[in-house]
Amino acid sequence: MRKLVYWVHQSVDGFIEGPNGEFDWPAMGPELSAYSFELTGRADAFLYGRRVWELMSWYWPRAESRSQDPHDLAFAPIWRRTPKIVISRTLESAEFDARVIGRDLATEVAALKAQPGGELLLTGGSGAAAALTELGLIDEYQVVVHPVVLGGGKPVFPAKDRLDLRLAETRGFDGRSVLLRYARA
C-alpha cells in the first residue's frame, strides 16, 4: 500500500500563512532544498487542496520566467512531469493534466493508496489535510518549522478532534528550520 505524506511549512507559532495570507517567510536553504528533492523523488503524485493548487498551477508551469532561485529552477521540471491530483468539491477540472477528486474523498484516496507505486505527497494547505486526517488517510506528517513568529493567520491543524502521533525523526536544515516527522500512533 502506498503511503500518503503531508508535507507542510509552518511558523514557530503554528501557522501556515500570516494574518494577511502572507507566505513569504519559508526559506529554502540548500539542505532543506535537497531534502525536499529526496521527498519529491519518492512521490508518484503530488496532491493539493484547491487553494494551494491555484498557487502552484500559477507559479510552477512558468517558474523559470518568474525566478532565478536554484531550488525553483530545479523543481519546476519535476513539478511539470509529476502527476497531480487536486482535492476539491467545487472544481470540475484542472489544467496541466491534473486529476480532480473530492466527491467521495475516502473512497478516492483509499483507491489511490491501494495502487502500486511510490508515495503520495500532499503539499501545504490545511483544508485538504484536515479532511484527510479526519478520514485517517494520512500516514505521515512532515512539518518544517521555520524561525518566524507570525502572530496569527491560518493554523496548520484547524481545531478538530485530538490526534495522537509518534515522533519518527527530527532534523535541522541550514541552521534555520527543523523537520518534525510524525507517524500516526
On whether the CB atoms of residues 4 and 132 are closer than 8 A, the answer is yes
Q: Which residues pair with 142 in a beta bridge?
A: 7, 181
Question: Residue 185: what pLDDT?
Answer: 83
Q: Any idea where the domains of the chain sit in the sequence?
A: 27-116+135-154+165-184
Residues of the chain with pLDDT under 70: 159
27-116+135-154+165-184 is classed CATH 3.40.430.10: yes
Question: Residue 159: what pLDDT?
Answer: 66
